[in-house]
Amino acid sequence: MQHSTDATQSAAENTIRVLLVDDDPMVLATLQSYVATAEDIDVVGTAEDGSLVRDLVRKHDPDLVIMDIQMPVMTGIEATVQLRKEFPNLRIVLLTTFDEDEFLLDALDAGAAGFLLKNTSPQDLVQAIRRAHSGNRVVSPGPTDRLIDNYLLRTPSSSEVTDVGLSAREQEVLELLCRGRSNGQIAEELFVAETTVKTHVSAIMRKMGVGSRLEIVVQAYERRLVR
């Protein structure tokens, strides 16, 4: 019996505690059903208003908050700013769409760990929760050019360049990715096959320790790997 108790306690300690916040009850129910597919993630609370989040975080002590950006009374952006002041280690992922540029930029400025599209699949949501919990930035796949133009290019870079060991060709691919080029466009510019570009992109992801093209771009500017 002792072994069973120890195993149960160990599983509980390794479980990612998540708080879900969205003003749409249907979205909340959908998110809960997605998270229920993962044994290592537990929804410890839900809310439909950003103004309630701080008290719920104090009560439930979640590892991660997944929160809608547009909500009445207090938006997800406002709640993120508030939470980051009181709980600087709390990971917050905001739900949004790429068509709302100003919200995306505000989310990054507020200190969110990432943002996801509301049509994110159950598998991708679970993976995003795990990655955010482990300290990574999480983003939904999608076009990056507007984010580059509107946020990354106006963000001051750190003073030191972080070398991640890219080859000369991988550096070329990285620079084109950071200009918003697709795999096909990169292949045309470098006179290589598109499959070759995909191989380089995968290698860049592995060396940078990221999981998406947008994360590559964000990290490239933050680490001053491109200008």
* Secondary structure class of 68 (helix, strand, coil): strand
- The rounded distance, in Å, linking the Cα atoms of 70 and 166 is 39
Q: Pick the more confident residue, 73 or 99.
A: 73
- Residue 45 structure tokens: 């609370």
Q: Where are the beta strands (DSSP E) in the chain?
A: 16-21, 41-47, 64-68, 91-96, 114-117, 138-139
Q: Which are the contacts of 180, defined by CB distance < 8 A and separation ≥ 6? A: 143, 144, 145, 148
Q: Which pLDDT score, from 0 to 100, does residue 134 have?
A: 87
89: pLDDT strictly greater than 70: yes
pLDDT at position 8 over 70: no
Q: Return the pLDDT at 213.
A: 76
Shortest CA distance to 105 belongs to which of 73, 147, 75?
147
Q: Does the structure show a pLDDT above 60 at 141? A: no
Q: Where do you find CATH 3.40.50.2300 in the chain?
A: 2-140
Sign for the pseudo-dihedral over CA of 46, 24, 54, 111: positive
* 72: pLDDT strictly greater than 60: yes
Compute the distance between CA of residue 217 and CA of residue 219 in angstroms, rounded to an integer: 5
148/69: higher pLDDT: 69
| Predicted pLDDT of residue 117 | 82
Tens digits of per-residue pLDDT, 44-57? Answer: 999 999 999 999 99
- Mean residue pLDDT of the chain comes to 83
Q: At what angle do helices 194-208 and 168-177 cross, to 10 degrees?
A: 90
Average pLDDT in the 110-125 region? 85
Q: Where in the chain is the domain with CATH 1.10.10.10?
A: 148-222
How does residue 221 score in pLDDT terms, banded at 50, 70 and 90?
A: confident
Mean pLDDT, rounded, for 195-215: 88
DSSP code at position 158: P
Q: Which band of pLDDT confidence, cut at 50, 70 and 90, is reported for residue 15?
A: very high
Structure tokens at 90: 């709390």
Q: Give me the CATH topology for the region 148-222.
A: Arc Repressor Mutant, subunit A (1.10.10)
Least confident of 7-16, 41-50, 104-113: 7-16
Q: Any idea which fold 2-140 has?
A: Rossmann fold (3.40.50)
The span from the CA of 59 to the CA of 45, in Å, is 9
C-alpha to C-alpha distances, 87 to 154, 178, 179, nearest whole angstrom? 27, 32, 35
Helix (H, G, I), strand (E, B) or coil at 63: coil
